Amino acid sequence: MDILAQRFQKSPTMVFREIADTFILVPIHHSVTDMEAIYELDGVAAYIWDQIDGEKDGYQILQQIVEKYEVTPETAQQDLLEYLEQLSSVQAIVGAPA
């Protein structure tokens, strides 16, 4: 299955926050004391998170990454694939309805 052809939306069980120039995702179904459930995002990852809206597919997000950052399409695609897989594995994103 081509993950970049899919559209994703953010899971309602995740909260995104920017705290002192640090971007974090916190699952709201875990205990606040469970620090392993808090995910820190770098700038590109936070940008990708912001672009996930249920409307754009992965290819559209990929194009935006290439335009915004000085990166080759191949590098951007590899990073985006890894990030989408990670977000999916922790259930931070889900497939958008058709």
pLDDT classification of 98: cutoffs 50, 70, 90? confident
**pTM: predicted TM-score of the whole model, two decimal places:** 0.85
Of the two residues 46 and 37, the one the predictor is more confident about is: 46
What confidence tens digit (pLDDT) does each residue in 39-53 have? 888 889 999 999 999
80-83 long-range contacts, CB within 8 A, separation 24+: 80/4, 80/48, 81/3, 81/4, 83/45, 83/48
Q: Which residue has the tokens 């120039």?
A: 21
Q: Is the pLDDT of residue 33 over 70?
A: no
